[in-house]
Amino acid sequence: MFLDPRLKTRIPELRRIHKEIFLIDLSNQPGESKVSSILVRPMTRQEFLFLQQDVELECDPTEQILQSCMIWPELDWVDTDKNPLYDLPCMCLEMLSKCIIDVSGFSSNEEIAKYFSDARVAINSLDSVMMTVITRHFHAIKPCELEDMTLSELTRLFAIAETSLEQPIDLRMFLDDEYAEKQVAKEMRKQRKQIGRVPGKMMPGSYRVPQPPEGWNSAQSME
């Protein structure tokens, strides 16, 4: 894939501004345009709601989506004669705006489920646990403010917040996988015991007569 040399310096900068960015390579696409690749960001939920309203009113939101979410190169959207995207075949802009809608994910339940599943996995990391404990203890601190702190500042707050917990965080759970698995299994057994369903233990009404072996015929055995 051809990467515009100017992008090599802009990608780190733009990622820090927009958090999540996507590159769309146009170098192999037909049509004469000076734009070989573009960088886009996903739409916010508010922008997606505006888009839905535009569609309901049969308005064409294509250019507005690109204008808002295309973060590189910077193009002139007022004087279209100076905008190289307008040299592209007309439906290409529709396809680019569809790419932005797709990466934003709001239009698909599958995409929302995928993001949610990834977030669930991430929340079990020590970093996420630390953030959760801090925000629960220090109500005045917003999660976005934590993003601007150093690790040293965060761990100091974490240590203070931990004192409010019934028992301290078992750090070994995050450092030793084998230990963590054993602890999880132990916890599950404990929970099962509490609800009175211990596997292997006889419970009233749980006994079932086992099925006879395959091929066994009671009529024949009587003869």
Q: Which residues bind another protein (CB under 8 A)?
A: 1, 11, 15, 20-26, 29-32, 39-40, 60, 80-81, 85-96, 98-100, 102-103
Question: CB 215 → another protein: shortest distance, Å?
Answer: 57
Taking the complex as a whole, the smallest distance from the CB of residue 87 to another protein amounts, in Å, to 5
Four-residue CA torsion sign, 75, 78, 82, 86: positive
If the CB atoms of residues 35 and 157 are measured against another protein, the closer one turns out to be: 35
CB of 193 to another protein, least distance (A): 45
- Which of 40, 161 has the CB closer to another protein? 40
In 3-state terms, what secondary structure has residue 16?
A: helix
81 versus 177: smaller Cβ distance to another protein = 81
Give 75 or 146: the residue with its C-beta nearer to another protein: 75
Tell me the C-alpha distance between 78 and 140, whole Å.
43
The DSSP string of 159-171 is HHHHTTSSS---T
As measured in angstroms, the least distance from the Cβ of 124 to another protein is 22
- Orientation of helix 109-123 relative to helix 126-137, angle to 10°: 80
143: number of CA atoms within 13 Å, CB side? 8
Cβ closer to another protein: 96 or 161? 96
CB contact at 8 A, 58 and 42: no
∠ Cα 51 56 58 (to 5°)? 95
What are the distances in angstroms from CA 81 to CA 53, 67, 68, 184?
Answer: 29, 15, 19, 63
CB of 15 to another protein, least distance (A): 7
